[in-house]
Amino acid sequence: MTGPLVEVEDLVVTSGHGQRIIDRVSLTLDRRSRTGLIGESGSGKSITALSILGLLPDGLVAEGRIAFAGKELTGLSERQMCAVRGNDISMIFQEPMTALNPVMRVGRQVAEALRRHQGLDRSAATGRVLELFTAVGIPQPERRVRSYPHQLSGGQRQRVMIAMALACGPDLVIADEPTTALDVTIQAQVLDVLTAQVADLHTSLLLITHDLPVVARTTERVLVMHDGRILETGPTTEVFATPSHSYTRTLVDAVPPLSRTAQVEVVRRERRASSEPAIVVDEVTRVFPLPRSTLTGSRDHVVALDAVSLTVETGETFGIVGESGSGKSTLARLMIDLDTPTSGTIAYPGFERANHARPGPQNGTVGQDARNTRASTLGSWVRRSVQMVFQDPMGSLDPRLTVLDIIAEPLRSLGIEGDHPARVRELLDAVDLPPESARRYPHEFSGGQRQRIAIARALAPHPSILIADEPVSALDMSVQTRTLALLADLKERFGLTMVFISHDLSVVHEICDRVAVLQDGRLVELGGVDDVFVAPGSPYTRRLIEAIPRLDGS
């Protein structure tokens, strides 16, 4: 058969309120092609894919023409669409944990699709599942087919999703942010498996993502979407090298230098740090007990941090990188006294401490003494002078409070006197939000704006140390750039010391002066960004840097 695989013509998707979410989108996908669909959140990229599958969320209405392999999909009944989905077109979702049925063995879930769509009998299906699991690189496939989703790692779950998507030999696989939830080394492996498998099976791939380097690494052609329209389309390398639309150029410019090319630039950032320490982490170990497996059995433990020692200097931006489970968030929680180390100490030379008391009151009575205006104990000093910005700007703001109340909360809590509304206006101005924002609720803001509110809240009690735990990971690329610039600017303006925690090496490379690399709770590398990124001392750091997808496809 010849002709394009998918033809979408003048697709318009309208919401119940008559708002156009997709505005006359036309696109064609060739057979055996790998196409990227990029855009930021709200650009309509996922909705476009769901329209092709006929899976639009409730309340959305699509018009236009969608043809698949010369067959009109428009106007097919739900039953007819069901035959197309899974068999001819399949989909890989971002979060495999929710896309897989948690109470069904993964092998059976894949076999189910084979038996329904391909009419295979039980033993043939089981055999095919084993082949698929081997093909997508799941270790010990014979054992893994009998596992439940929660027993697999994130990368393995996504491999199962890929196996499931490829099970019936579809003509098209649509992957919606398939690696966004994965660590960088796992992301690289999963992308390689996906690319190899679609090539083997002569399947076309439509990869939807906000991540330009991922598209560069995986696809031949790219479509750029913005506000429900396709702005630019062309060969991936060409579009990224010489973007013709200004919006594409903004996206390309937002890619941090480390994600552009394997040639790591030396930043030669002048050291702004004084040699005065701000936080001294000394041999800190944090062990978490696991629930007992039996009533009388011994308790297992997880070592989240293993004898980590480091010093954050006053005025610097100190990066902490690591993959999930490396202990970086545990370290953040310890630094802000939300948790106490099992052994070791964390000291804040900024507070003239009288004795070697551990920071903060113990046994869960956190905050009892923080109501004193005067910082009389180390604990209350920490509560006032060390503030945190969280990853998820949706979860870190109470949806039932106005922005005014949210930002004024720390002031009230810490008993800081003064004109709170005026202080809130000042802070909103500092993070470039209009003063009217104070009366509104978090859900009325975009992700980037919400993160600005969270930053304003953190700055409210005039802290000297700001701990940012993945502050830009949940944001779109261009918003990321702006938020990073804002953080850097505020740090200068208020003379802050910043601890910047991230899984994203490119971002750390861009903003930090020094960086610590954590692996499985251990500190594997510590040094200036230039030293660490240009000439990594540990093999693990080198692996991390090599796994970063680059805009030039290398």
Partner 1 sequence: MSTPVPIELNRRRRRWKRTNLVVGATIVGAVVLTALVSFVWTPYDPSVISPTEALLDAGTPGHLLGTDQFGRDVLSRIMVGARSALFVGVLAVAIAIAIGIPLGGLAAARRGWVEDLVMRISDVVYAFPAVLTAILLVAAFKPGTTPAMVAIGIAYVPIVARVTRGAALTVFQLDFVTAARSYGRSTSFTFRRHVLPNILSVLIVQATVLFALAILAEAALSFLGIGTQPPVPSWGRSLRDAQTLISIAPGLAIWPGLAIALTVLGFNLMGDGLRDALDPRLEVRRA
Q: Closest separation between CB of residue 18 and partner 1, Å?
A: 11
Region from 129-137, 186-194, 382-390, 486-494 binding partner 1, contact rule CB under 8 A: 382-390
CB atoms within 10 A of CB 101: 13
Nearer to partner 1, 65 or 440 (CB): 65
For the bound state, the minimum distance from the C-beta of residue 417 to partner 1, rounded and expressed in Å, comes to 15
410 belongs to the binding site for partner 1 (CB under 8 A): yes
Q: Contact with partner 1 (CB under 8 A): which of 26, 61, 169, 376?
A: 61
474-498 burial code (b ≥16 CB/10 A, e <16) = bbbbbbbbbbbebbeebbeeeebbb
Q: Which stretches within 219-348 are classed as H helix?
A: 236-241, 246-253, 328-335
Q: How far is the CB of 21 from partner 1 (least distance, A)?
A: 5
- As a whole number of angstroms, the distance between CA 337 and CA 331 comes to 10
The nearest distance, CB 366 to partner 1, in angstroms, is: 6
Q: From the list 3, 26, 32, 63, which residue makes contact with partner 1 (rule: CB under 8 A)?
A: 63
Cβ pair 511, 519 in contact under 8 A: no
Q: Single out the residue of 135, 145, 154 nearest to residue 104, CA to CA.
A: 145
> Which of 144, 217, 383, 491 is close enough to bind partner 1 by CB under 8 A?
383
Binding mask 415-454 for partner 1 (x = CB under 8 A): ---------------------------------------x
Between 65 and 522, whose beta carbon lies closer to partner 1? 65
In angstroms, the CA 504 to CA 527 distance is 17
**Considering the rule CB under 8 A, would residue 312 count as an interface residue with partner 1?**
no
Write the interaction track for partner 1 spanning residues 449-468; mark x where CB under 8 A is met and - where it is not: -----x--x---x-------
Asked if 16 interacts with partner 1 (CB under 8 A), we say yes
Rounded CA-CA distance 465/459 in Å is: 10
Chain centroid to CA 397: how far?
Answer: 18
Binder of partner 1 out of 261, 263, 324, 368 (CB under 8 A): 368
Residue with tokens 């491999």: 159
Residue choice 397, 465, 486, 517 for contact with partner 1 (CB under 8 A): 397
How near is the Cβ of 74 to partner 1 at its closest, in Å?
5
Does 82 sit near partner 1 (CB under 8 A)?
no
Q: Site for partner 1 (CB under 8 A): which residue of 70, 235, 395, 421? A: 395
Q: What is the 3-state secondary structure (H, E, C) of 290-319?
A: CCCCCCCCCCCEEEEEEEEEEEEECCCEEE
Non-local CB neighbours of 363 within 8 Å, separated by 6+ positions: none
Cβ of residue 405: shortest distance to partner 1, in angstroms? Answer: 9
CB of 234 to partner 1, least distance (A): 26
- The reply on whether position 227 binds partner 1 by CB under 8 A is no
Question: String of b and e for 274-286 (b: at least 16 CB within 10 Å)?
Answer: eeebbbebeebeb
d(CA 172, CA 165): 9
Pick one of 56, 67, 82, 201: the residue that binds partner 1 (CB under 8 A): 56
Name the segment binding partner 1 (CB under 8 A); options: 86-94, 132-140, 184-192, 409-417: 409-417
Tokens of 522: 């251990």
Number of residues that bind partner 1 (CB under 8 A): 52
Is position 302 an interface residue for partner 1 (rule: CB under 8 A)? no
322 scored as a contact of partner 1 (CB under 8 A): no
Show Cβ contacts of residue 77 under 8 Å, excluding neighbours closer than 6 positions.
none
